[in-house]
Amino acid sequence: MSVIGQEEGIDHGSMRGYRQHTYRKVPATEACGCLAAVREAQRASKPVQQRSQKQRQGAGGQYVTSGTGTRPGRPILPPGECPTEGCSQECAGRTIQRRGWVRVHVQGSTMPPRSFCSGSCASVGIALAELRMDASAR
């Protein structure tokens, strides 16, 4: 005799009960406790990663806590405050650029050509150059 669809006999509140729900194709609910048992088993199987003090200092102490532990947080900088040395410096003529850098020159802008370290910095540079357009060039 098949147990598919039968709810009696399920060991509620445990992972075994959740597996019985799955096999019997009976939906598990919060009331029976099987879903809570699954969440607890998943939490126990993923240990929280502990970072050493040296690792925290290396990342500048910018860590974001999450349900599974800590991971380095992305520093959010205001536009134009890139920590990369040489970012947004003027380009003198047609100089050779560093690999991966972007040269921005907007025709008609009062801002001279500049080099940026990445696309996101370059987009800020383009916006600033467009804001500084010469009134006669518009």
User: Could you read off the pLDDT of 8-60 as tens digits, one per residue?
Assistant: 889 999 999 999 999 999 998 889 999 999 988 888 887 666 666 666 666 55
Statement to judge: residues 26 and 69 lie in one domain: yes
d(CA 10, CA 31): 13
Reply yes or no on whether the pLDDT at 66 is more than 90: no
Asked whether residue 132 falls in the same domain as residue 93, the answer is yes
* 0.75 surpassed by pTM: no
pLDDT at res. 91: 84
Domain holding 29, by residue range, is: 10-48+65-73
Share of the chain above pLDDT 90, in %: 16
DSSP string for residues in 32-95? TTHHHHHHHHHHHHSPPBPPPHHHHHHTTT-EEEETTEEEEPPP---TT---STTTTEEP-SSP
Yes or no: say if 67 and 39 are a contact pair by the CB < 8 Å rule.
no
Q: Is the pLDDT of residue 75 over 80?
A: no
What is the number of domains present in the chain?
A: 2
Q: Do 109 and 69 lie in a common domain?
A: no
Check whether residue 69 and residue 108 sit in a common domain.
Answer: no
Instruction: State the average pLDDT for the chain.
Output: 79
Residue 88: strand, helix, or coil: coil
